[in-house]
Chains A and B, each alone.
Chain A
Amino acid sequence: MSDFPADSILVLAEVSPTGTVQKSAAALIGAAAQVGSPIALVVASPGQAADAAAIVATFGATRVLVAEAADVATSLTVPGADALAAAARLVAPEAVLISNSIEGRDVAARFAARTHSALAVDAVNVSRDDEGIVAHHSVYGGSYNVDSAASTGPLVITIRQGAIDARAEGQPLVAEALEVVSSGAAAATITGHTEATVAANRPELRGAAKVVSGGRGLGSEEKFVLVEQLADTLGAAVGASRAAVDAGYIPQTSQVGQTGVSVSPQLYVALGISGAIQHRAGMQTAKTIVAINKDAEAPIFEIADFGVVGDLFAVVPQLIDAIEARKK
């Protein structure tokens, strides 16, 4: 018999290779607390787990299971899946919440396949009905809302990064060590690791309240700086179209769209972006859309709340000045 609450929601709190708890953990616990008792699992290298567990409690986990594994830094995905399987056996949760990050998806996939559990991916929210936990998805670029549930057993849900605003109240740390028996499943080996440099003072693209994105219309890496200048004036994150990424103006991690990041900000500003359907798929749920494009026929205008037909190299510098003037 498990001594965990019947409404336990098991949350895998993602920890970076250097031991930092990822921001997604606060959102996952916030989501879990809406529908049940959030029980967190921290999987980290020996020596790093205790600090991580303390942080996770401040996010609102009522209990924190701590698994220290010597191979998390060298072995891909399998140590996480093994620990999650052990935690789920112990907790018997109604649902398992995992970040829809690249690593999170892989752990979710291995765990669900191993335990024959139902898997719901890229959810933007969770709720509870008479039958249990329901995952809410925004599909085909936000054109449809789809709800899914498990036919039987727990629902394993990956949660879109930046999609959940709910946060839970911090809890006193109740940590317990989790015994993990290695599955022995074959894993790929991690042979090296490079941390990306992020612009320190700029908000992260996922979950940002404002986003300014640039497209092929910026013309060059040097001129793409204009996008960053407007973003900084507005306190916005920087995004891009795939054409801008392919042209090397900005790294792929900033790509907005179907095969990039999906954002739902209060304000989305598209500069020199035509508004191809694959780009719209990642941003058309924004509350307010502004577009500046010199082609009056560009499809981005079909969804823009405020469209300017004009040369962005003329309009954007004036806009920056006008905003600065009105801020005074």
Chain B
Amino acid sequence: MKIIVLVKEVPDTYGDRKLDLETGLADRAANDAVPDEIGERALEVALTYADKNADTEIVVMSVGPNTVPGTLRKALAMGAASAVHVMDDALMGADLGLTGEVLAAAIRRTGFDLVLAGNLSTDGSGGVIPSIVAELLGVPAATNLSSVEISEGAVAGVRAVENGSVNVRADLPAVVSITEALPDARFPNFKGIMAAKKKPFETLTANDLGINAEDESKGRSIVVAVSERPARAAGVKIIDEGDAASQLADFLVQNRLV
């Protein structure tokens, strides 16, 4: 089975993330770039399956700037067999639709039985890439799974939705996205890190994939304004000496919050 795992590189959330107020794009210099946490969990799902099924090939794939090889090397060190990185200045600031088109084209070129992704990335929080990719590839999408069972020829799982849960299954080839309810990813070990250096690593441009980023016939989402909200200031802080509850109740009453 050939599994492609989509891993996005995102600004580390353990730090205040910044947007460039001119372009509306992420200010990449403001934070460390790290693999998206839920994407890493998707890789863990693939690796767990590969641990039990020797005949599994895992390809990690990402669209992004020149820091992305660091993220993909980490995925190789964790155990993926090869990596595909799509990098192109023409894709700077690509919207969700264009990113999805690029990923779908790269996935088609690589070939796959199963595509695994995170349900939401921590920066864009779009949660739409997996379904865009499935639509463009013409395959079923089982999204937002909080448990996954991969078998020969099919995938099944529990899809957590707002008002309950749904059991779903799909024949392969298919796209699956998983939630943070699935286990945390393993750490790369020394052997993995050494092995990663020799693993196949492909770098592609939009052109290689037959994608015209400037195609004006397609609707694209464009940023028309960006502004920064003033940061919140701390208010009163009291230490409880037995009467904090009473003071807090007064505060709530004064502010008509009771």
Contacts and interface: CB of A to CB of B under 8 A. Distances in A.
Interface string A298-328: 0001111111111100111011011101110
Given A188-B142, A315-B244, A318-B245, A121 B223 contact: no
A308 B128 contact: no
B131 A117 contact: no
A113 interface: yes
Contacts of B187: none
A143 B17 contact: yes
Interface in A167-202: 185-196, 198
A203 interface: no
Interface stretch (A44-52, A63-71, A251-259): A251-259
Interface in B2-48: 13-19, 24, 38
Contacts of B100: 109, 113
B148 interface: no
Nearest to A187: B140
Nearest to B15: A277
B228 A144 contact: yes
Contacts of A6: none
Contacts, number: 287
Contacts of B142: 76, 188
B229 A144 contact: yes
A119 B240 contact: no
Contact of A311 (B140, B170, B240): B240
A76 B157 CA distance: 13
A61 interface: no
A115 B71 CA distance: 33
Interface residues of A, number: 96
Interface residues of B, number: 91
Contacts of A210: 257
Given A149-B224, A210-B257, A112 B97 contact: yes
A114 B135 CA distance: 7
Nearest to B181: A252
Interface in B188-237: 216-229, 231-232, 234-237
Interface stretch (B62-70, B74-82, B83-91, B160-168): B160-168
B222 A151 contact: yes
B219 A152 contact: yes
Contacts of B236: 305-307
Contacts of B181: 252
A193 B234 contact: no
B132 A144 contact: no
Contacts of A309: 237-240
A318 B246 contact: yes
A258 B13 contact: yes
A151 B219 contact: yes
A110 B167 contact: no
Contact of A234 (B95, B123, B132, B258): B258
Contact of B180 (A145, A158, A259): A259
B95 A119 contact: yes
Contacts of A306: 235-236, 248, 251
Nearest to B221: A118
A23 to B, nearest CB: 10
In order of increasing CB-CB distance, the 10 nearest A-B pairs are: A310-B240, A318-B245, A109-B131, A322-B249, A192-B167, A153-B219, A118-B219, A305-B235, A109-B128, A188-B170
27 contacts: A76-B143, A109-B96, A112-B96, A112-B97, A113-B132, A143-B228, A145-B229, A146-B19, A148-B223, A151-B221, A155-B219, A185-B138, A188-B169, A188-B170, A188-B174, A189-B170, A190-B168, A192-B167, A193-B164, A193-B165, A258-B122, A259-B120, A267-B257, A277-B16, A308-B244, A308-B248, A322-B249
Given A112-B132, A146-B24, A192-B166, 13 more contacts: A102-B143, A109-B135, A112-B96, A113-B132, A121-B127, A146-B19, A148-B222, A155-B219, A189-B168, A191-B156, A196-B164, A234-B258, A258-B125
